[in-house]
Amino acid sequence: MKKTNTTLTAFFLLFSLASMGQALTGEAAAGKSLYQTYCQSCHGEAGKGNGPVAQYLVLPPADLTRIALRRDGAFPEKEIQQVIDGRREVRVHGNSEMPVWGDAFRQEGPSEKAEEKIRKLVAYLKTIQEEEE
């Protein structure tokens, strides 16, 4: 009986540690919340570009889980920040199909807070990148 309890305890401890490793922390966790509020309706829950609004857009939203794969495995944080804040024009965003979130965030408060939100979104997007198959 004692051996069974020890085995179960070890199993649950390992399971807990494994799930903790997958949990988002810090900026990425806050970024996930921002993503769910501002991005999920177009890009989808998992970032695949299949949100409920996607079917109504002229151009389909990007699959955000493949950003790094499209760039030889490197996640371009600065470029993604510029896309979100509106400094880098993207074909889909060019005609304002996608809101320029930098402008929207700046209207909500100080510029530093807007930059913080964008950093958090980028941190989250970095965590959802798919590996090469």
Whether 114 contacts 102, CB under 8 Å: yes
Residue 57 lies in a domain: yes
Whether 111 contacts 101, CB under 8 Å: no
Residue 19 lies in a domain: no
Residue 121 and residue 16: Cα distance in Å, rounded?
26
- State which residues form the domain around 106: 25-127
pLDDT digit string (tens) for 15-29?
333 333 457 889 999
Residue 62 and residue 51: Cα distance in Å, rounded?
11
Which phi and psi angles does 128 have, rounded to 5°? -100, 10
Residue 6 lies in a domain: no
Whether 121 contacts 39, CB under 8 Å: yes
Amino acid at 59: L
Residue 105 and residue 115: Cα distance in Å, rounded?
8
Whether 42 contacts 53, CB under 8 Å: yes
92 falls in which pLDDT band (50, 70, 90)? low
Residue 47 lies in a domain: yes
Which phi and psi angles does 85 have, rounded to 5°? -85, -5
Residue 9 lies in a domain: no
pTM of structure: 0.77
Residue 65 lies in a domain: yes
Residue 60 and residue 54: Cα distance in Å, rounded?
6
Q: How many domains does the chain have?
A: 1
Whether 60 contacts 93, CB under 8 Å: no
Whether residue 108 has pLDDT greater than 60: yes
Please report, for the domain that includes residue 62, its CATH number: 1.10.760
Residue 109 lies in a domain: yes
The mean pLDDT value of the chain amounts to: 81
Residue 15 lies in a domain: no
